[in-house]
Amino acid sequence: MNNTMSLPMLFVLLCLLVPWGCVVRANEGGESQLVNFLENKMQTLDPDTRADQSTEQTNTTLDIWMELRMLRDMVVEQKVEMRHMEARLKETEMQADEQKVDLILTKTTLEELKKDSTVIKERLKNSEKQGEDLKRENTDQKAQIEILRSRLDASERKMEELKVDLKNQAVKLLSTMARVAASENELQLLQPRIDNMEAQSTVQEVEVSALKERMNTTESAVDFLMKENSKVAFYAALKDSKHVGPYNTPTVLKFSKIFTNVGKAYSPTTGFFTAPVKGVYYFRFTVCSNTADNKLMAVQLFHNGKSIMFNVLGSIEDHFNYISNAVILELNIGDELHMVLPEDKLLYDDNNNQSTFSGFLLFVT
């Protein structure tokens, strides 16, 4: 049993060594050396042992030889495949080298193309700029051409008009020359009448001189009247009858006691002041009431019928109450100014002139 067990183990070892041996022998001299090696190893075994185990070894040996042949075939196939793979590997490496070269060439070409593209882009930009500049210049030139055309058309029209005017002037000149000739004839005929008209002109000059003197006299009179009218000032008191009002309706106050009325612009009969000249005027008034009457005191100033001031005062414990105020107005010629006592209001005046109205011209405008 021990010999029987050692033989399979030996064959197992041989099977393990077969690939290495096949490779070594194949590399050194061929496949036949492996077979000779195995046969020599089989012959070195003990003859007695081979005789005792002949039956078992026969089958085992056949199996081993079959396996060895299969291994040998496999080794051969692998070797062929390895050779093919080496060839393919070399071919692949060559192709890879070629592809590397192609890649390097492609990269170089790409870089050159990029440079060329950059240059072309710059040239394209410059071309576009030049195109835009040319377009603008073309537009400007077109505009200038249109302006020149319009000016040329206008010049041509003016030339035509001048030609027509020249023809008309030539016709007029001829007509004028004819009229001058006729006028000379008429002048000779009219000379006596001209002499008569010169005599009349002398008489008219004398009349004009007289009119100028009269005009100067009139202007002097107007200046005098203007100066007289520019002297405007008045001062007047209400009346001596003490109580004035109350009335059921607004009543114009007539300051009838005149102390000053230069220019006669204030009328005591109507109570109206009428501006004789255009200018700036100053007006002032003072009105009085007596507390014993137990009535409100009020006064209202009108300019051309429009109220411009309204003053009112209630009763105070003092015996007399007063309201004073003043205005400066620019009046035109004919503007009117007057004062009004409102309805149900009361004023007071006596011989002490406690209610007064005054005004004067500051300057002419």
User: What are 350-354's contacts with CB under 8 Å, separation 24+?
Assistant: 350/240, 350/242, 351/240, 353/237, 353/238, 353/257, 354/237, 354/286, 354/288, 354/320, 354/322
| DSSP label of 361 | E
DSSP 271-305: --EE-SSSEEEEEEEEEEEEGGG---EEEEEEETT
Residue 176 pLDDT: 79
Q: Which domains does the chain have, with CATH numbers?
A: 232-364 (2.60.120.40)
User: Which residues are 108's β-sheet partners?
Assistant: none
Residue 314 pLDDT: 75
Q: Scan for tokens 């500051």, then name that residue.
A: 362
The model's pTM: 0.41
Distance CA 342, CA 253 (A): 10
Please report, in tens digits, the pLDDT of each residue of the chain (365 residues total): 444 445 555 555 555 555 545 444 544 444 455 445 455 544 544 555 555 556 666 777 788 888 888 888 888 888 898 888 888 888 888 888 888 898 898 888 888 888 888 888 888 888 888 888 888 888 888 888 888 888 888 878 888 888 888 788 878 878 878 887 777 777 777 777 777 777 777 877 887 777 777 776 656 554 555 555 578 999 999 988 888 888 999 999 999 999 999 999 999 999 999 999 999 999 999 999 876 656 788 999 999 999 999 998 876 666 788 899 999 999 999 999 999 999 988 888 888 998 999 999 999 98
Q: Are 328 and 268 in contact (CB under 8 A)?
A: no
Question: Is the link from the previous residue into 19 a cis peptide, with omega within 30 of 0?
Answer: no
Distance CA 22, CA 43 (A): 20
> For residue 240, how far is the Cα from the chain centroid?
76
Q: Are 239 and 269 in contact (CB under 8 A)?
A: no
Residue 218 pLDDT: 57
Which amino acid does the sequence have at 200? Answer: Q
**10 torsion bin: left (phi>0), alpha (psi -120 to 50), beta (else):** alpha
User: Which residues are 339's β-sheet partners?
Assistant: 301
**87 torsion bin: left (phi>0), alpha (psi -120 to 50), beta (else):** alpha
Residue 26 pLDDT: 45
Residue 1 pLDDT: 46
Q: Scan for tokens 């005191």, then name that residue.
A: 297
Distance CA 101, CA 96 (A): 8
Residue 340 pLDDT: 95
Distance CA 298, CA 291 (A): 13
Residue 121 pLDDT: 87
